[in-house]
Amino acid sequence: MLDAVLDLTGPATLTVATWTAASADAAFLGGWCAQGRIREFRLLIDYSFLTRKGGADAVDEVIRNFGPGAVRVTRTHAKWGLVMGADAEIAILTSMNLNKNPRFEYLHCTWDPAVVALLAGIADEIWQSPELAVAAKMRPQEHKNIFGGLGPANAGPAAPAGGLNAELEGMDLGDFVEELDFNL
Which residue type, as a one-letter code, is found at position 18?
Answer: T
Q: Distance between alpha carbon 29 and the CA centroid of its chain, in Å?
A: 15
Tell me the pLDDT tens digit for each residue of 70-102: 888 877 788 899 999 998 999 988 766 665 667
Domain ranges of the chain: 2-138
Q: Which long-range contacts (CB under 8 A, 24 or more apart) does 99-102 make?
A: 99/20, 99/21, 99/22, 99/25, 100/22, 100/25
Residue 45 has pLDDT above 80, yes or no: yes
Position 6 scores a pLDDT of 83
Predicted confidence band at 178 (pLDDT cuts at 50, 70, 90)? very low
DSSP state of 164: G
> 128-166, pLDDT tens digit by residue?
877 666 654 566 667 667 666 666 554 444 433 444 444
Q: Secondary structure of the chain: what % helix, strand, coil (to 5)?
A: 45, 20, 35
| Mean pLDDT score across all residues of the chain | 74
| Strand spans (E) along 36-88 | 38-46, 71-74, 80-85
Average pLDDT over residues 9-37: 81
CB atoms within 10 A of CB 60: 14
How much of the chain, in percent, has pLDDT values that exceed 90? 16
Rounded Cα distance between 175 and 144, Å, is: 27
pTM assigned to the model = 0.70
| 99-115 residue pLDDT tens | 566 766 667 788 899 99
Dihedral pair phi/psi, residue 55, rounded to 5°: -60, -50
Please report which helix (H) or strand (E) contains residue 16, including its range. strand 12-18
Residues 113-131 have a mean pLDDT of 88
* Cα atoms in the 13 Å half-sphere on the side-chain side of 9: 27
The CATH superfamily of 2-138 is Endonuclease Chain A (3.30.870.10)
Contact 153, 166 (CB under 8 A): yes
**Residue 159 CB neighbours (<10 A):** 16
Q: What is the pLDDT of residues 48-72, one digit of tens each?
A: 777 777 777 888 888 888 888 888 8
More confident residue, 25 or 154: 25
